[in-house]
Amino acid sequence: MKLELRKVTKRFGDFTANDSIDLTVTPGTVHCLLGENGAGKSTLMNVIYGLYRPTEGQMFIDDQPVEFSGPSDAMAAGIGMVHQHFMLVPVFTVAENVALGAESIKGATLDLESTRKKIREISDRYGFQVDPDAVVEDLPVGVQQRVEIIKALVRDAEILILDEPTAVLTPAETDQLLGIMDQLRKDGKSLLFISHKLREVREISDDITVIRRGKVVGHAQPTMSTTELASMMVGKNVQLTVDKDAAQVSDKVFEVKNLTLMADNGVPLLKKVSFEVRGGEILAVAGVQGNGQTELAESIIGLHPKATGSLSLNGTELLGMSTKQVLRSGVGFVPEDRSKDGLIGSFSISENLVLDLFDSPEFSSAGTLNRSKISANADRAGTEFDIRMGSKEHTASTLSGGNQQKIVVARELSRDLQLFVGSQLTRGVDVGSIEFIHKRIVQERDKGVPVLIVSTELDEVYGLADRIAVFLHGELMGIVPPTTPRSVLGQMMAGATYEEALAADTEHSEASSGSAAKTQVTESAPRAEGEENER
């Protein structure tokens, strides 16, 4: 089925999210929609999927004009969507999830047998390896995503929309997904792939449409270089690699010894983690999310009072201090989820910029806030960190993700730091801001501050790290140099030691490319249960 959009425009009030978008997805191809966060990709997807009605313009399926009043219309017309956040019921089995909303009934009972049969058919056809009777919450993220794809295929979708499908996947899972997409393409399906990860886009796409600020700014070929694509996406030249000199080690040091943390249900979240970060170097923690990185970062700033072991910063023990004491002793902290932990959406930008310093002598006296100093601080931070805001008195929730993140980074880097800890510094942040934030982190390193970065983005890890630490199931698998190949790092993230991974990698490059599947099967099922319980 061919999907065509002609001059599709979507407005919210005065704001134009999509401005006369033209787009054609032909059967048997993968069409990539490339754009920064906030460029209007998701809005466009929701228009196609019937969640929003276009303000202007028309959609065509096989040259027939169509109009959807809801997702059920879109599904009936043969459009399937794989959401960025899965729409699955965790406690249901795969078959139950697939049947949900289109249950077939035998008498008064639910007939899951026909659904199971269909799942097996599809699973065999595309090599999904999904058991219809597995409970969804027990499945690894990559498999859960396949369940989403099966859901669409069972409903006879010919056009598949994949909304940032790789955001939650390990490198190995990503490769598997790209393989699946390739098969679907060969099967004659039309795929619309949304992403801002250039490597994947170049690997899988047949056509690329780049949108910026709601407008189509051009079509690109997958043969174009990542730098060219990024420049098109952002509208200016961007530097994808982080510029940094060799690390100049200072005498500051942050030492973690035997850090252990148990969840309330006794599941270990961190197992005897020991490492050190010297001043002037960046240690990047890589690993699939939910393997203890979050807990590591939170333990450092005292959010997990039950953690045991030792966290020593220049000889001072941080463990046992309150969060406030840790922050005041010179630790800068950027949490991984800015809207949940980093900002107060209903507070003004200037208030958010002093969230951890509002009661310091700098911004208050005798229990009264010094509004003029807080406001001056916002002016300074706004200029220095290029926070684009209408007014510093607007609430933080009115800003885009990139600017929100700049608020958090600005707040944490505005103090005199002894240690900087940052999680997912650039998640959901546009390319321009990523560059800026990275630059500031490197500057901090060059001041001689020990920097600990947690990231699931390998590009970021490679760009920033002086050394890379790999975590799996709360354990430190090893610390490797940034020259380590991606494939080796990927295998370590799946459970191999550095030596094993290195050996397997050499073997792999000697053998044919097909043998990569061997290591990819050793998929882990990282779960974030403990993290939920802890809060």
Which residues in 466-525 contact other proteins (CB under 8 A)? none
The least distance separating other proteins from the CB of residue 277, rounded to whole angstroms, comes to 21
Give me 84's structure tokens.
Answer: 């960025």
Task: Choose which of 206, 347, 373, 475 interacts with other proteins (CB under 8 A).
Answer: 347
Among 7, 28, 58, 87, binds other proteins (CB under 8 A): 87
> Minimal distance in Å, beta carbon 352 to other proteins?
9
Binding residue (CB under 8 A) for other proteins from 236, 306, 380, 518:
236
- Binding residues among 432-451 for other proteins as defined by CB under 8 A: 432, 435-436, 439, 443, 446
What x/- string results for residues 158 through 197 when contact with other proteins is judged by CB under 8 A?
----------x-----------------------------
Rounded to 10 deg, the angle between the 486-493 and 171-186 helix axes is 100
Among 9, 20, 24, 37, binds other proteins (CB under 8 A): 37
User: Which segment (414-422, 431-439, 482-490, 505-513) binds other proteins by CB under 8 A?
Assistant: 431-439
Question: Mask: binding to other proteins, 389-408, rule CB under 8 A, as x and -?
Answer: xx------xxxxxxxx----
> What one-character DSSP code corresponds to residue 165?
G
Q: Which of 57, 179, 222, 235 binds other proteins (CB under 8 A)?
A: 235
Candidate ranges 23-31, 88-96, 115-123, 249-257; the one touching other proteins (CB under 8 A): 88-96
> Which listed range, 24-32, 87-95, 170-178, 504-512, lies at the site for other proteins (CB under 8 A)?
87-95
Using CB under 8 A as the binding rule, the residues of this chain from 258 to 317 that contact other proteins are 289-290, 301, 303
Give strand pairing partners of 163.
194
371-390: which residues touch other proteins (CB under 8 A)? 371, 386, 388-390
For helices 113-126 and 171-186, give the axis angle rounded to 10 degrees: 100
Contact by Cβ (8 Å): 327, 333: yes
User: Does residue 362 interact with other proteins by CB under 8 A?
Assistant: no
> Which 3-state string (H, E, C) describes 298-328?
HHHCCCCCCCEEEEEECCEECCCCCHHHHHH
| Residue whose C-alpha is closest to residue 78's, from 66, 89, 87, 86 | 66
- Does 368 participate in binding other proteins (rule CB under 8 A)? yes
CB 426 within 8 A of CB 457: yes
107: helix, coil or strand?
coil
76 lies in the binding site for other proteins (CB under 8 A)? no
User: What tokens appear for 515 in the block?
Assistant: 């043998």
Contact 88, 64 (CB under 8 A): no
* Neighbouring residues of 94: CB distance < 8 A, sequence distance ≥ 6: 119, 130, 131, 132, 133, 134, 136, 139, 147, 150
Q: At what angle do helices 431-446 and 401-413 cross, to 10 degrees?
A: 10
Question: Which of residues 123 and 456 has its CB atom nearest to other proteins in the complex?
Answer: 456
326 counts as binding other proteins under rule CB under 8 A: yes
Binding residues for other proteins, rule CB under 8 A, total 94
